[in-house]
Amino acid sequence: MDRPRNGPLVLLLLGHVITALEVPLDPKLLEGLPQPPTITHQSPKEYIVDPRENIVIHCEAKGKPHPGFSWTRNGTHFDIDKDPKVTMKPHSGTLVIDISGGEKADAYEGVYQCTAHNELGTAVSNNIVIRQSRSPLWSKERFSPIVAQEGQSLILHCRPPAGLPPPIVFWMDNNFQRLPQSRRVSQGLNGDLYFSNVLMEDSRNNYICYARFPHTQTIQQKQPITVHVIDMDSLNDTMADYFNDTDLFSDKPVGERPPSFMVPSGSLSSKMALRGEVLELECIADGLPTPVVSWTKLSGEIPSHRASFLNFNKTLQITEVSEADAGEYRCTARNRLGSVHHTITVSVKAAPYWISAPRNLVLAPLETGVITCRARGHPKPSIRWSMNGLPIEDAPKDPSRKVEDDTIIFSEVQTGSSAVYQCNASNEYGYLLANAFVNVLAEPPRVLTPPNKVYQVIMNKPALLECLSFGSPVPAITWFKDSRSSMLDGDPYVFHKNGTLEIHVSQAVNSGKYTCVARNNLGISENHVYLEVKEPTRILQPPDYRVVHRNRDVLFECKVKHDPSLVPSTTWLKDGGELPDDERFRVDSDSLTITDVTESDAGTYTCVVNTSLDQDSASARLTVVEAPPNGQPDAPTDLELTDPGARSVQLTWTPGDEHNSAIKKFLIQYEDGLHQSGVWHNLTEVPGTKTTAHLKLSPYVHYSFRVLALNDVGYSRPSMPSRQYRTNPAAPDENPYEVKGHGTEHNNLVITWKPLTGLQANGPGLLYKVMWRQQDVEEDWTSVSVANVSKFVVSGTPTFVPYEVMVQAQNDYGHGPKPVAVIGYSGEDFPSAAPDHVQVVVLNSSLAEVHWEDVPLRSVRGRLQGYKVHYRRERSLHRHNSHHGEQRTESFGPSRTSGKLPNLHPYSIYSLHVTAFNGRGEGPASATQRFETPEGVPGVPSFFRVSASDLDSLTLEWGPPHVRNGRLTGYTLRYQTVNSSHDLGLLEELDLPSNHSSVTLHNLHHSTRYKFYFNARTQRGSGPALTEEAVTILDRAIVSPQVDIATQGWFIGLMSAIALLILILLIVCFIKRNKGGKYPVKEKEDAHGDPEIQPMKEDDITFGEYSDEDHKPLKGSRTLSSGTIKRDGSDDSLVDSGDTQFNEDGSFIGQYSGRSERDAAHESSEPPSPINAMNSFV
Q: What is the dihedral of CA 546, 549, 550, 551, to 10 degrees?
A: -100
- Amino acid letter, 664: K
- Amino acid letter, 586: R
Out of 22-26, 135-139, 228-232, 576-580, the most confident range is 576-580
Are the beta carbons of 599 and 611 closer than 8 angstroms? no
- For residue 983, name the pLDDT band (cuts at 50, 70, 90): confident
Q: Could you tell me which of 939, 845, 855 has the C-alpha nearest to residue 901?
A: 845
> Which residues, including other chains, have CB under 8 Å from residue 864's CB and lie 6 or more apart?
831, 855, 857, 894, 916, 917, 918
- For residue 1056, name the pLDDT band (cuts at 50, 70, 90): confident
pLDDT of residue 1152: 35
Cis peptide, bond prior to residue 165, ω within 30 of zero: yes
Residue 1045's CB is within 10 A of a number of other CB atoms, namely 14
* Span 588-627, pLDDT tens digits: 989 999 999 999 999 999 999 999 999 999 999 999 988 6
Q: What is the spatial distance between Cα 1099 and Cα 100, in angstroms, rounded to a whole number? A: 72
Residue 108 phi, psi dihedral angles, 5° rounding: -110, 15
Q: Give rounded-to-5 percent helix, strand, coil for the chain.
A: 10, 45, 45
Above 50 in pLDDT, residue 2? no
Residue 874's CB is within 10 A of a number of other CB atoms, namely 14
Above 90 in pLDDT, residue 234? no
Give the residues across from 209 on adjacent strands: 171
Are the beta carbons of 739 and 807 closer than 8 angstroms? yes
pLDDT of residue 101: 77
Q: First and final CA of the chain: distance in angstroms?
A: 98
pLDDT of residue 1102: 35
Above 80 in pLDDT, residue 903? yes
Residue 1111 phi, psi dihedral angles, 5° rounding: -85, -15
* Span 488-530, pLDDT tens digits: 887 888 889 889 999 999 999 999 999 999 999 889 999 999 9
Q: What is the spatial distance between Cα 702 and Cα 73, in angstroms, rounded to a whole number? A: 101
For the chain, what's the residue count? 1178
Mean pLDDT of 160-167: 87
pLDDT of residue 164: 86
Interior/surface letters 854-863, b for 16+ CB within 10 angstroms, e for the rest: bbeeebbbbe
Are the beta carbons of 617 and 543 closer than 8 angstroms? no
Q: What percent of the chain is predicted at pLDDT more than 70?
A: 84
Are the beta carbons of 1017 and 1023 closer than 8 angstroms? yes
Least confident of 716-720, 892-896, 1133-1137: 1133-1137
* Span 652-695, pLDDT tens digits: 999 998 876 889 999 999 999 988 899 999 999 999 989 999 99
Q: Could you tell me which of 1129, 1130, 1114 has the C-alpha nearest to residue 1172?
A: 1114
CA 76 to chain centre: 47
- For residue 431, name the pLDDT band (cuts at 50, 70, 90): very high
- For residue 749, name the pLDDT band (cuts at 50, 70, 90): very high
Cis peptide, bond prior to residue 65, ω within 30 of zero: yes
Higher pLDDT, residue 141 or 824: 824
Q: What is the dihedral of CA 1020, 1021, 1027, 1032, to 10 degrees?
A: 120
Q: What is the spatial distance between Cα 35 and Cα 441, in angstroms, rounded to a whole number? A: 9
Higher pLDDT, residue 452 or 1146: 452
Q: What is the spatial distance between Cα 121 and Cα 398, in angstroms, rounded to a whole number? A: 15
Q: What is the spatial distance between Cα 1034 and Cα 951, in angstroms, rounded to a whole number? A: 7
| Residue 141, burial from CB neighbour count under 10 angstroms (0-12, 13-18, 19+) | exposed
Are the beta carbons of 495 and 504 closer than 8 angstroms? no
Give the residues across from 607 on adjacent strands: 572, 618
Above 80 in pLDDT, residue 555? yes
Q: Could you tell me which of 314, 316, 315, 346 has the C-alpha nearest to residue 328?
A: 346
pLDDT of residue 241: 47
Q: What is the spatial distance between Cα 719 and Cα 670, in angstroms, rounded to a whole number? A: 12
Q: Could you tell me which of 598, 604, 603 has the C-alpha nearest to residue 625?
A: 598
Above 50 in pLDDT, residue 1088? no
Above 50 in pLDDT, residue 1153? no
Above 80 in pLDDT, residue 4? no
Q: What is the spatial distance between Cα 851 and Cα 869, in angstroms, rounded to a whole number? A: 10
- Give the strands of the sheet with 676-687, arranged side by side: 676-687, 665-672, 702-710, 725-726
- Give the strands of the sheet with 193-195, arranged side by side: 154-156, 193-195, 185-187
Q: What is the dihedral of CA 477, 481, 486, 492, to 10 degrees?
A: -80
Mean pLDDT of 154-172: 90
Mean pLDDT of 851-876: 93
CA 959 to chain centre: 47
The 8-class DSSP code of residue 796 comes to: S
Residue 371's CB is within 10 A of a number of other CB atoms, namely 22
DSSP annotation string for 586-654: EEETTEEEE-S--GGG-EEEEEEEE-SS-EEEEEEEEEEEPPPTT-SPPPPEEEEEES--SSEEEEEEE
Q: Could you tell me which of 225, 298, 314 has the C-alpha nearest to residue 262?
A: 314
Give the residues across from 332 on adjacent strands: 294, 341
The 8-class DSSP code of residue 106 comes to: G
DSSP annotation string for 165-211: SPPEEEEE-TTS-BPP--SSEEE-TTS-EEESS--GGG-EEEEEEEE
* Span 1092-1140, pLDDT tens digits: 334 433 343 333 333 333 433 333 333 333 333 333 443 333 333 334 4
Are the beta carbons of 377 and 350 closer than 8 angstroms? yes
Q: What is the spatial distance between Cα 921 and Cα 827, in angstroms, rounded to a whole number? A: 12
DSSP annotation string for 295-341: EEETTS---TTTEEEETTTTEEEESS--GGG-EEEEEEEEETTEEEE
Residue 210 phi, psi dihedral angles, 5° rounding: -110, 145
Establish how many alpha carbons lie within 13 A of residue 812's alpha carbon, considering only the half-sphere containing its beta carbon: 7
Above 80 in pLDDT, residue 910? yes
- Amino acid letter, 907: Y
| Residue 309, burial from CB neighbour count under 10 angstroms (0-12, 13-18, 19+) | middle
Radius of gyration of the chain (CA): 49
* Span 984-1001, pLDDT tens digits: 889 999 999 999 999 999
Above 70 in pLDDT, residue 244? no
The three-state DSSP-derived secondary structure of 862-929 is: CCCCEEEEEEEEEEECCCCCCCCCCCEEEEECCCCCEEEECCCCCCEEEEEEEEEECCCCECCCCCCE
pLDDT averaged over every residue in the chain: 84
Q: Could you tell me which of 235, 280, 256, 222 has the C-alpha nearest to residue 153?
A: 256
Q: What is the spatial distance between Cα 40 and Cα 29, in angstroms, rounded to a whole number? A: 17
Summary count for the chain: helices (H), strands (E): 8, 89
| Residue 270, burial from CB neighbour count under 10 angstroms (0-12, 13-18, 19+) | exposed
Three-class DSSP category at 1075: helix
